[in-house]
Structure 1
């Protein structure tokens, strides 16, 4: 059978995807049905097939449910906040009266390209209860200092604020591209008809940004469900497990306790949750 010449152009990319993506995913899925641990790593004969035991153990593990609650909290609060901050920044830097648009876009995008570990270390010092700048500012207003990363009630909100500051620049650029695709003639026609800025925003800008909102929402949800580096560097999942995320739990089980089969099960549960949310967002957009 004669193949289309286009096949040979995409064949190298497909081969790389198969070797470095689909094959490892299939291997990890198989791993989640075994008790693969450090003993099996030393002697493969110790590997046993346990079926769904890892998943049954997972759903009966209080630590898993705590990590899931923390992750959902981070997504539910940090996700919309990140999108709103990104949209506000995009509207500001895209305004026709805004000076030095390119400079401000670059400055606001800088946190995105800064190493997350370095950012987390700097913010950890900012949150320091005795010498941190945030508590210094609170003291100026006569308020008591807050143990931002040591108090279970404040640790996750502190991480959310840092994550929003770190990541909003990417979504801002996407929103700027969406705003620039809206014809200026629509705003001119609306102005002639007597529509103010508020009505233009709700009746022109937001409806025409709907595809951009869907893309940003899906990307943000996927990224926020993978919360790992922030709590790993700043709190190690504490205090009292208040910042333990599913990704961090997966890392701890897999690379601290070497329960690799159990960690693989956590990974696929997380994959299912992320995929479900992405599908729900797409279906909501169609309605």
Structure 2
């Protein structure tokens, strides 16, 4: 019972509470949703890294780590010096080997023939995209050699290009005379590269056709309305529109020519005549498989990797510069 005019004291509801309720009641409005939104944004930023992590792990374990082991192995010895560090002795030996010098010279030939190997499927894909008569049949026919084994392709062309084979018989009937396609050191490498291009351009053709699917058809229609010729359309519309596709085909074709011709070389020439068809890939196999010199083979393999890396980067740089100029 209050005495006189005294009024009962009123305490705040949260006075003296230490269980966190007071702090919760005075928390800024919207702090919780903002924190959850921040966590959501952070998760979205990290999501791509989570997705590519398994692929990166596979590449590191199955590609980069063995590559580093091979490079390290190239600085060790063979035979009596097995496992002993020899510095650059293996590299000095391979660069002084005439067969490896021939292999490097053939790499230069491949680089010179690379534009031809890319232009053939590019032009054929252009004709198919423009729907020349029979384009569906051509697509199947052009791709068919890509499914054949290099051993089968080599055996077929061994029969066709033999000195007494059907191609020379046709030349003799035309009064030209026979050509030793697989026995003349001056032309044999060109013949093998030509067979490789025939056998593999079907895959590049498919890549080009995929690139055409991203090309703006309105540009082709505008070029046709303006009266542009086929050559002008290819140069000013198709090539700029397929720059990235062309870069990809250039790099993959060069890698294929440096690392996927072993089957043809083994079946058609076995590195001959006179070692004229050696490539670094074939040289690596000879040193490892026949000479039992794995450290020397590792050195040659490292040189091949460096060549592919340098040539690929130069190709991309030149193609990007050409695309900017266009």
Superposed counterparts of 1:209-220, under 5 Å: 209-220=242-253
Report if the CA contact (8 A) 1:139-1:145 is conserved. yes
Number of matched pairs:
277
- Tell me, in whole angstroms, the C-alpha distance in 2 between the residues paired with 1:275 and 1:106: 33
Q: 1:47-86 alignment to 2 at 5 Å? A: 47-77=83-113, 79-86=114-121
Q: Show CA shifts across 1:166-185 (max 9, x none).
A: 01111111112222322221
Q: Does the C-alpha gap of structure 1 residues 15 and 201 become closer, same or farther in structure 2, counting only changes over 3 Å?
A: closer
C-alpha contact 1:82 1:167 (8 A) present in aligned 2: no
Q: 1:206-240: CA deviations, max 9, x gaps?
A: 22122221111111111112232211111111001
Give 1:18's aligned residue.
60
Q: CA RMSD in A?
A: 2.2
1:61 positional shift: 2.1
Q: String of CA shifts for 1:124-157, please: whole Å, max 9, x gaps.
A: 1111101x12112212211211111111122112
TM-score (norm 1): 0.88
Q: Identify which range, 153-162 or 183-192, moves more after superposition.
A: 183-192
- Report the equivalent of 2:17: none
Residue 233, structure 1, aligned to residue 267, structure 2: yes
Q: Distance in 2 between matches of 1:50 and 1:136?
A: 54
What secondary structure is seen at the aligned counterpart in 1 of 2:86? coil
Deviation at 1:47, TM superposition (A): 2.5
Change (3 A) 1:198 1:148: closer
Do residues 254 (structure 1) and 288 (structure 2) align?
Answer: yes
Contact conserved, 2:100 with 2:278, CA < 8 A, in 1?
Answer: no
Q: Structure 2-normalised TM-score?
A: 0.78
SS of the residue aligned with 1:181?
coil
Structure number with greater Rg is: 2
- 2:278 pairs with one of 233, 237, 244: 244
Shift of 1:6: 6.7
The corresponding residue for 1:43 is none
Residues 1:119 and 1:205: Cα distance change in structure 2 (over 3 Å): same
The answer to whether the Cα contact below 8 Å between 2:120 and 2:201 also exists between their aligned partners in 1 is: yes
Is residue 155–residue 243 contact of structure 1 (8 Å, CA) maintained in 2?
A: yes
CA spacing shift, 1:206–1:14, aligned 2, 3 Å? closer
Kindly tell me: are residues 104 and 191 of structure 1, through their superposed partners in 2, closer, same or farther at Cα, counting changes over 3 Å? closer
